[in-house]
C-alpha cells in the first residue's frame, strides 16, 4: 500500500470514529428527549430546555469528545506515518564515505519510501564506486610515479656532482633537483592519503607515551622557530599513555608544529600543551600570526587548501599537511579541530582516547 493510501485510510478511520461518537451522543440526547415527551408531552421539552440549550448540549457532549478523539487519533496516525520517514532520515544522517557500501534497509511496504530508499541505495553504490576508483587511481598513480622520480633524483644528483658547485649548469641542475624533491614529497603525501582513504592505514596497537612525544616536539619546534625569532613554550605536559602508532603520532605532531612555525610572524609565539580530560588526552598548539577568515576555517582540512592565495605563495607547502594530520587522528579514533579564538591566534586541538589500562587506574 502506498504512503498516500495509508494516510488516507487512517484519515477516513479517524473521521468515522469521530462521527460515530457524535452519532452516539446525539442518539443518547434524542432518546432522552423522547422519554420526556412520553412522560410529560411536548410542553415538557420546552419547559426543560430551549432550542439553544439543546444545541449547546449536543456540541458540548458530542462535539468536544469527537474533537478530542480526532486530535488523539490524528497524533497516532501521524506518528505511525512519520515513523518510517524518521527512521530513514536517521540512517541517511549517518551516511558518509565509510559506509557507502552498506545499503539502507527498506520498510518492505512497497510504498514511496521504499522506492526512495532503492534510489538512494543506487546513488550510494555509484558514489562508493566513484570514491573507490578515485582512491585506487591516486594510490596506483603515486606508486607508479615513485620509480621515475627516484631515477630522476639520482640522475640529477649525479649531474650536479659532475657539473660542480657554483657553475651555471650546476645551479640549473640544483633547481631541478629541488623541484623533483618537492614533487617526491607531494607524491609521498598523496600515497599516504590514498592509503588512509582505502582504510589501509594501520595505526598499530602499541602503548605510546604521548607526553614524551610532546616534550620532544617542543624542543624540535624551538629549533624550527629559532630562525624567525619565534618563542616556543610548553605550558603543560601531563603524563598520559595512549594506544597507537608512535611514528604516525610523531608525524602528526611535527606536521602541526611545522604549520604553527611557518604560518607565524617574526617574533611571534607558539604555545603547546598536553592535558587529560576524563578518558581523553587533549593536545593544544596555538600560534600568533595571520589568521583565516571565519568562512574559510571549515575548509582547512581539505586537500591542497592553503587559505589566502598571497599567503600561500609566500610560504612553501602543498596544502596537504592538515589533511594528513586529520587522517592520522581519525585512524587513532580521535578528533581534530581548527579554531581561531578571539585573541587573534590560530589553535589546533587534538583529542585522543587514553590507553584503556591507564584510563581504569
3-class DSSP state for residue 28?
A: helix
Q: What are residue 242's phi and psi, to 5 degrees? A: -130, 165
With 0-12 CB in 10 A as exposed, 13-18 as middle and 19+ as buried, what is 94?
Answer: exposed
3-class DSSP state for residue 243?
A: strand
- State the pLDDT at residue 58: 65
Q: What are residue 333's phi and psi, to 5 degrees? A: 60, 35
- State the pLDDT at residue 55: 63
Cα–Cα distance, 124 to 118 (Å, whole number):
10
Per-residue pLDDT tens digits for 111-153? 777 888 888 888 888 888 887 777 777 777 777 888 888 888 8
Residue 222 reports pLDDT greater than 60: yes
Q: If you average pLDDT over residues 66-80, what whole number do you get?
A: 73
- State the pLDDT at residue 203: 65
**Domain boundary assignment for the chain:** 3-94, 133-197, 206-359
CATH topology of domain 206-359: Heat Shock Protein 90 (3.30.565)
Of residues 98 and 229, which shows the higher confidence score? 229
- State the pLDDT at residue 285: 94
Cα–Cα distance, 180 to 187 (Å, whole number):
10
Residue 46 reports pLDDT greater than 70: no
pTM over 0.85: no
Give 49's pLDDT tier (boundaries 50, 70, 90): low
Of residues 250 and 200, which shows the higher confidence score? 250
- State the pLDDT at residue 314: 55
Q: How many percent of the chain have pLDDT more than 90?
A: 19
Per-residue pLDDT tens digits for 78-106? 777 777 777 778 887 888 776 777 888 87
Per-residue pLDDT tens digits for 281-331? 999 999 998 888 877 888 888 888 776 544 444 566 677 888 889 989 988
Torsion of CA 199, 205, 211, 216, to 10 degrees: -70
- State the pLDDT at residue 348: 93
- Spatial neighbors of 145 by CB under 8 A, at least 6 apart, are 187
Residue 224 reports pLDDT greater than 50: yes
- State the pLDDT at residue 308: 57
Cα–Cα distance, 12 to 5 (Å, whole number):
10
How many angstroms from the chain centroid is the CA of residue 227?
38
Q: If you average pLDDT over residues 169-178, what whole number do you get?
A: 86
Cα–Cα distance, 296 to 49 (Å, whole number):
76
Q: Are strands 231-237 and 269-277 parallel, antiparallel or unpaired?
A: parallel
Amino acid at each position: 500500500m502506498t504512503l498516500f493510501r495509508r494516510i488516507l485510510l487512517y484519515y477516513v478511520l479517524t473521521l468515522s470514529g469521530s462521527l460515530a461518537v457524535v452519532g452516539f451522543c446525539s442518539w443518547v440526547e434524542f432518546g432522552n428527549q423522547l422519554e420526556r415527551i412520553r412522560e410529560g408531552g411536548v410542553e415538557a421539552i420546552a419547559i426543560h430546555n430551549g432550542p439553544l440549550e439543546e444545541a449547546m448540549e449536543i456540541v458540548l457532549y458530542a462535539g468536544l469528545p469527537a474533537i478530542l478523539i480526532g486530535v488523539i487519533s490524528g497524533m497516532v496516525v501521524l506518528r505511525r506515518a512519520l515513523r518510517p520517514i524518521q527512521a530513514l532520515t536517521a540512517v541517511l544522517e549517518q551516511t558518509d564515505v565509510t559506509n557507502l557500501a552498506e545499503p539502507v534497509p527498506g520498510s518492505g511496504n512497497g510504498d514511496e519510501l521504499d522506492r526512495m530508499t532503492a534510489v538512494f541505495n543506487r546513488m550510494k553504490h555509484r558514489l562508493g564506486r566513484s570514491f573507490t576508483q578515485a582512491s585506487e587511481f591516486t594510490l596506483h598513480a603515486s606508486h607508479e610515479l615513485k620509480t621515475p622520480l627516484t631515477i630522476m633524483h639520482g640522475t640529477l644528483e649525479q649531474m650536479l656532482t659532475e657539473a660542480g658547485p657554483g657553475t651555471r649548469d650546476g645551479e640549473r641542475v640544483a633547481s631541478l633537483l629541488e623541484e623533483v624533491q618537492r614533487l617526491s614529497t607531494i607524491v609521498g603525501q598523496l600515497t599516504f592519503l590514498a592509503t588512509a582513504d582505502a582504510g589501509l592505514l594501520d595505526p598499530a596497537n602499541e602503548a605510546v607515551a604521548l607526553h614524551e612525544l610532546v616534550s620532544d616536539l617542543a624542543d624540535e619546534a624551538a629549533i624550527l622557530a629559532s630562525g624567525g625569532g619565534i618563542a616556543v613554550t610548553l605550558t603543560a605536559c601531563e603524563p598520559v599513555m595512549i594506544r597507537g602508532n608512535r611514528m604516525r603520532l610523531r608525524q602528526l605532531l611535527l606536521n602541526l608544529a611545522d604549520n604553527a612555525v611557518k604560518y607565524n610572524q617574526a617574533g611571534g609565539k607558539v604555545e603547546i600543551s598536553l592535558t587529560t580530560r576524563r578518558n581523553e588526552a587533549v593536545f593544544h598548539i596555538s600560534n600568533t600570526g595571520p589568521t583565516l577568515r571565519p568562512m574559510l576555517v571549515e575548509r582547512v582540512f581539505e586537500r591542497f587548501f592553503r587559505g589566502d592565495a598571497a599567503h600561500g605563495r609566500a610560504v612553501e607547502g602543498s596544502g596537504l599537511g592538515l589533511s594528513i594530520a586529520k587522517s592520522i587522528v581519525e585512524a587513532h579514533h580521535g578528533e581534530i579541530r581548527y579554531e581561531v579564538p578571539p585573541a587573534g591566534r590560530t589553535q589546533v586541538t587534538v583529542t585522543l582516547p587514553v590507553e584503556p589500562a591507564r584510563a581504569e587506574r
